[in-house]
Structure 1
């Protein structure tokens, strides 16, 4: 665990979706890698680090330009979306996600989701987890929400998400759980504290800005932020 700065008590918690609540990153990774392989290209960890946490269009742009793929961004996006969406019906939750979310909900901590996914994509991914996602106050889908003008690393999605809690907390009262460097940057730009659960391909230097870095949600030190700790 990386503790790099002082901590402040929070009252609300915001979760990213992919790689934090649902184990979807492996789907994205395999789809992009397989497209690249057709052209003799390799989807390296460095490029993966740039793609993680971005909205779909930006993910496709990065993949095409970074690997110099001989196809348009539109063509890549069509194939990417079609292939990935076929696999979204059976996405498992991340280890510890249900335990942490249920714990916060039981203790009356307002919780929400802020994802770069579009509403359609979110609906597909969460189809078999409806009871779980009913515990959240609300969900902001940055890929299709008209109020989210800029994608991560811009702070828009987290500011919009905070504004939709009933009591509209100040950003500094919100704690964010993220797995992607762009998500961490977005949370910090919004004036929020952030706990990072990074993908193994995220370089160490891209983890240093998070307030805390952990290997799983269950090991997050909630008490450092004034939240009720998980019972052992």
Structure 2
């Protein structure tokens, strides 16, 4: 962890793989689409596209696997599978406890995701009460103000500007991510970032993070000047 971090006044969370256990569902979807053409979706390719805008991730997959699809066709096929899978989405360990704790103590929270609005609605359909605690969500795939997806800083910068009372400085915003592209996005925006990576993540890809945890359950709010969890 970096020494003497500025006071944290706001928090921004990623969604997929951080709050919601959707990464396995995305993998299932991609495997089903590319498997039609005898292609294999590898962990290395997944690492490249995690956290990106949907259109950018789709273009990466189509190009890397030389699929006989346009990115738009790939997304159309994926969308039909998401309709089946995403309403089953579960929360990641520690996510609900942390979000409810910060809300209870009046810490403004927002979401910054590479996904789009239709998928977000499906993924959060079982968890509406929890996601209502966030002041706003910036969904890069359907947000015109986000010109560039992660790892560019746009989505975090837009999310910070949209707080009713914006943070004084980027350093006052604590971010949470699971993907390397997301960490790079938050850090490019000048914000400290806590990473909760997949256990398969190469260590060198976690180094830009301010702090790396194996689970949100292990986060100690008091280490960042936030109210500690009640006993």
**After TM superposition, is the score higher than 0.5?**
yes
- Would the aligned equivalents of 1:45 and 1:202 in 2 still touch at CA under 8 Å? no
Within 1, Cα distance between the matches of 2:110 and 2:183? Answer: 16
SS of 1:195's partner is strand
List structure 1 segments (4+ residues) > 4 angstroms apart after TM superposition: none
Q: Which residue of 1 aligns with 2:156?
A: 158
- The answer to whether the aligner puts 1:44 opposite 2:42 as a matched pair is yes
Q: CA deviation at 1:126?
A: 1.1
- Would the aligned equivalents of 1:114 and 1:141 in 2 still touch at CA under 8 Å? yes
Question: Where does the alignment leave 5 or more consecutive residues of structure 2 unmatched?
Answer: none
Q: Which residue of 1 aligns with 2:62?
A: 64
Q: TM-score, normalised by structure 2?
A: 0.94
Q: Which residue of 1 aligns with 2:224?
A: 225
SS of 1:46's partner is helix
Within 1, Cα distance between the matches of 2:118 and 2:4? Answer: 36
Q: Which residue of 2 aligns with 1:193?
A: 192
Q: Which residue of 2 aligns with 1:89?
A: 87
Within 2, Cα distance between the matches of 1:107 and 1:86? Answer: 36
> Is the deviation greater in 173-182 or in 54-63?
54-63
Cα deviation code 1:146-182 (max 9, x no counterpart): 2111111111111111111111102110000001111
Q: Which residue of 1 aligns with 2:77?
A: 79
Within 1, Cα distance between the matches of 2:139 and 2:35? Answer: 30
Task: Answer 1 or 2: higher relative contact order, Cα 8 Å, separation at least 6.
Answer: 1
Question: Where does the alignment leave 5 or more consecutive residues of structure 1 unmatched?
Answer: none
- Would the aligned equivalents of 1:49 and 1:203 in 2 still touch at CA under 8 Å? no
Within 1, Cα distance between the matches of 2:85 and 2:159? Answer: 27
Q: Which residue of 1 aligns with 2:12?
A: 14
Q: Which residue of 2 aligns with 1:115?
A: 113
Within 1, Cα distance between the matches of 2:42 and 2:207? Answer: 21
- Would the aligned equivalents of 2:82 and 2:119 in 1 still touch at CA under 8 Å? no
Cα deviation code 1:168-209 (max 9, x no counterpart): 102110000001111101100100000001123432211111
Q: Which residue of 2 aligns with 1:210?
A: 209
Q: CA deviation at 1:7?
A: 4.5
Within 1, Cα distance between the matches of 2:155 and 2:208? Answer: 19
Map residues 127-206 of structure 1 onto 2, 5 A cutoff: 127-169=125-167, 170-206=169-205
Cα deviation code 1:125-161 (max 9, x no counterpart): 1122111111111111111112111111111111111
- Would the aligned equivalents of 2:8 and 2:173 in 1 still touch at CA under 8 Å? yes
> Is the deviation greater in 218-227 or in 148-157?
218-227
- Would the aligned equivalents of 1:114 and 1:139 in 2 still touch at CA under 8 Å? yes
Within 1, Cα distance between the matches of 2:145 and 2:227? Answer: 32
